[in-house]
Homo-oligomer: A and B are copies of this chain.
Amino acid sequence: MAAPKKRGMQTIVFDNPPCLTSWASIVGPKEGEGPWGNSFDVRLNDNLLGEKTWEKAESKLLQDTVSLALSKRGFEIDDVEVFLAGDLLNQLASANFAARTLNIPFLGLYGACSTMAESLIVGAMILDGGFCERVIAATSSHHYSAERQYRFPVEQGVQRSLTAQWTVTGSGAVVLEKGVLGPKIKSATIGKIVDRGQDDANNMGAAMAPVASDTIKMHHLDLNLQPDYYDLVITGDLGSVGAALVRQLFNRDGLVPKPNYSDCGILIFDEKQDVHAGGSGCGCSAVMLCGPLLAKMQRGELNKLLFVATGALMSPTTTFQGETIPCIAHAVAIENQ
């Protein structure tokens, strides 16, 4: 049993750190053409996966990614005990319909683009708490289903602002187990909401930068870690605008030095791919984690990773009603042994 965290702390330390024993990533065509294309398990040729709508395609994408992560470990779906997932669609449509097919106990989670970290945290608590021996944590996003839900009909061809990010079509899934080999979740920081008054839904990087910095700062403070403790601190989807801002905050606070920091939203696309400020969406950090990052950990090129998925928690309704954007960031510390 873990020692309860002290009042006022946000970070949980796992006594028997759960292991990431298998993972999978599937990405859309545009993501497959990006600089890390070869690092994903599957690169799709089209955005529909044989389905009639983008929403159904996204749910199938999530389901296929879960199945792939399980099969890489030689598991059937019944070999895991709980499915932890969420996505960006209203009422978590992708996760719910994937859960219907997978047919195991299901907990739906929502943290916008922070959902991959949230599902890993809840999964790790379920394992270290002794309630289960194996769970699967997953999330997905789809450029076209997100675009039409959050912004404009895709066919309208609205010009995107330069601060806007491109929602990643992709899904990542991780099998978590206790007591076996693989990178381990040593600790996790549960985010608080930070809202600095940003109200432009086309500039989510600027909205999320303060919360990313806040969670990273609390993580280092709670555990009394040096700023360069992690080989890499990676945020989910701040993009170029948000990452530049978060670096300013790091400098101000004496946090993570420049070579130890990056952002999945910057890495996933090449500048030539015309995505403006970078990638975003639950799938962005999920596929970067379940693609290149965990592969690097497995090869020993990366040994201490702080995965900080960031979420902008606005909805079109709250934006129409003049609200600013509440943001959250959860951090998961993944280490080799």
Q: How far is the CB of A282 from chain B (nearest CB, A)?
A: 12
| A33, CB-defined interface residue at 8 Å | no
Binds B, one of A3-11, A226-234, A289-297: A3-11
Q: Which residue on chain B has the smallest CB distance to residue A56?
A: B321
Give the chain B neighbours of A12 by CB distance below 8 A. Answer: 131-132
Docked complex: A105-157 residues within 8 A CB-CB of B: 105-112, 118, 121-122, 125-126, 128-133, 149
List chain B residues, Cβ under 8 A from A315.
89-91, 93
Chain A to chain B: the 10 pairs with minimum beta-carbon distance, closest first? A129-B129, A91-B315, A1-B130, A105-B190, A96-B313, A100-B326, A108-B110, A100-B193, A90-B90, A2-B130
The residue from B97, B105, B109 contacting A107, defined by CB atoms under 8 A apart: B109
Does A239 sit within 8 A of B, measured CB to CB? no
Which listed residue (B103, B104, B328) contacts A106, Cβ 8 A? B328
Q: Does A159 contact B (CB under 8 A)?
A: no
User: Measured between alpha carbons, how far is A9 from B89 in the docked complex, in Å?
Assistant: 30
A199 on the B face (CB < 8 A)? no
**Which residues of B sit under 8 angstroms from A81, Cβ to Cβ?**
5, 7
Q: How large is the interface on A (under 10, 10 to 19, 20 to 34, 35 or more residues)?
A: 35 or more
Q: Does A32 lie at the interface of the complex (its beta carbon under 8 Å from any beta carbon of B)? A: no
Q: Does A53 contact B (CB under 8 A)?
A: yes
* B residues near A105, Cβ cutoff 8 Å: 10, 190-192
Distance in Å: Cβ of A274 to nearest Cβ of chain B: 27
A96's nearest neighbour on chain B, judged by CB, is B313
A78 touches B8 (CB 8 A): yes
Query: Which residues of chain B have C-beta atoms less than 8 A from A104's C-beta?
Result: 192
Q: Are B190 and A97 in contact (CB under 8 A)?
A: no
For residue A277, CB closer than 8 A to chain B, the reply is no
B131 near A91: Cβ-Cβ < 8 Å: no
Contact A110 B92 (CB under 8 A): yes
State A53–B321 Cα separation when bound (angstroms): 8
Instruction: List residues 43-58 of chain A with CB under 8 A from any CB of chain B.
Output: 52-53, 55-56
Does A82 lie at the interface of the complex (its beta carbon under 8 Å from any beta carbon of B)? yes
Question: Nearest-CB distance from A332 to chain B (Å)?
Answer: 13
Bound CA span A110–B313, Å = 14
User: Are A5 and B131 CB-contacts (below 8 A) given A55-B321, A110-B110?
Assistant: yes
Q: Which residue of B lies closest to A82 (CB)?
A: B190
Say yes or no: is A86 at the interface (Cβ < 8 Å to chain B). Answer: yes
Interface check A275, CB cutoff 8 A: no
- With both chains docked as a complex, state the minimum distance between the C-beta of A73 and any C-beta of chain B, in angstroms: 15
A5-B132, A99-B192 given. 7 additional CB < 8 A pairs?
A86-B110, A97-B318, A100-B326, A105-B190, A109-B109, A126-B129, A129-B131
Across the interface, do A190 and B107 meet the contact criterion of CB distance under 8 Å? yes
- CA gap between A134 and B106 in the complex, in Å: 24
A100 and B78 CA atoms in complex are apart in Å by 38
Q: Tell me the smallest distance from the CB of A139 to a CB of chain B, in Å.
A: 13
**Contact assessment for B326 and A96 in the assembled complex, using a CB-CB cutoff below 8 Å:** yes
282-330 of chain A: CB within 8 A of chain B: 313-318, 321, 323, 326, 328
